[in-house]
């Protein structure tokens, strides 16, 4: 897998993940000096090339002169992600989020709000690719992602483990009047269809953000960000 962009590669080097090599634009030792120094400290091979070579290697077209090569993303085990801990647990469930840009943004929200992890289905969903890592600005390097056979399977496991499962939709109860202080899971639906009907039925409650403008919906990752920070506010 290729991790592209300076922020994403820098965050990658802060982890213990194995990096096979880094391809860097010639002359970037100064402008990307911190990346170069950290790579040398970890004995990671740095190969220099001209911009055309990086453009050919790039999968996103936004490499910023740095591409890291790593093994395929290692997904977390669901049971480990849901393990008991000190303090309330908090996970995010993606139901049919197929846009890699939305998934990358969701991973960034999850990491920034201190979520324990993100759950995605194996099918009909964006996966954690190099593009998702770049869009997350490297947050994907620090957040656990569990991949499950299906969202309903995950919801059942969450409820068995003591979580309250809340779906985020436009026609639910006011999120600002809801208690988000315990073990919770926030389910965010796909870009076009939202949360699947059966998954919606399995949720303990459907929550909504108030909308005061003329547009009747928010982008999935934007809605999740507002909802997740409401949970953060209540837990402070």
- What is the structure's pLDDT at 124? 87
pLDDT tens digits, 24-71: 999 887 778 899 999 999 999 999 999 999 999 998 888 999 999 998
Give me the residue spans of the domains in the chain. Answer: 2-70, 78-235
Report how far residue 131's alpha carbon sits from residue 182's, in angstroms, rounded to the nearest whole number. Answer: 33
* CATH annotation of 2-70: 3.30.1330.30
Q: Could you tell me the pTM of the whole model?
A: 0.85
- What is the structure's pLDDT at 30? 75
Report how far residue 7's alpha carbon sits from residue 102's, in angstroms, rounded to the nearest whole number. Answer: 18
| Nearest partner of 103 among 191, 44, 2, judged by Cα | 191
User: Residue 94: in which H helix or E strand, if any?
Assistant: strand 90-95
Task: Report the topology of domain 78-235.
Answer: Alpha/beta knot (3.40.1280)
CA 118 from centre of chain: 6
pLDDT tens digits, 129-172: 988 998 998 899 999 999 999 999 999 999 999 999 999 998 89
């Amino acid at each position: 897998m290729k991790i592209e962009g300076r922020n994403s590669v820098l965050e990658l080097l802060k982890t213990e993940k194995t990096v096979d090599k880094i391809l860097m634009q010639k002359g970037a030792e100064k402008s990307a000096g911190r990346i170069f120094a950290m790579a040398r400290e970890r004995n990671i091979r740095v190969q220099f090339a001209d911009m055309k070579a990086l453009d050919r290697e790039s999968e996103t077209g936004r490499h910023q002169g740095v591409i890291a090569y790593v093994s395929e993303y290692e997904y977390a085990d669901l049971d480990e992600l849901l393990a008991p801990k000190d303090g309330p647990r908090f996970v995010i469930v993606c139901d049919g989020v197929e846009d890699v840009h939305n998934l990358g943004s969701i991973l960034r929200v999850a990491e920034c709000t201190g979520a324990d992890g993100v759950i995605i289905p194996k099918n009909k969903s964006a996966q954690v690719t190099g593009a998702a890592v770049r869009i997350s600005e490297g947050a994907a390097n620090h957040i656990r992602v569990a991949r499950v056979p299906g969202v309903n399977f995950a919801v059942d496991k969450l409820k068995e483990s003591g979580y309250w499962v809340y779906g985020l939709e436009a026609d639910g109860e006011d999120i600002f009047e809801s208690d988000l202080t315990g073990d919770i899971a926030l389910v965010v639906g796909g870009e076009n269809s939202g949360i699947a009907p059966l998954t919606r039925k399995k949720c303990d409650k459907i929550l909504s953000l108030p909308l005061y403008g003329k547009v009747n919906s928010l982008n999935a990752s934007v809605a999740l960000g507002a909802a997740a920070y409401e949970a953060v506010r209540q837990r402070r």
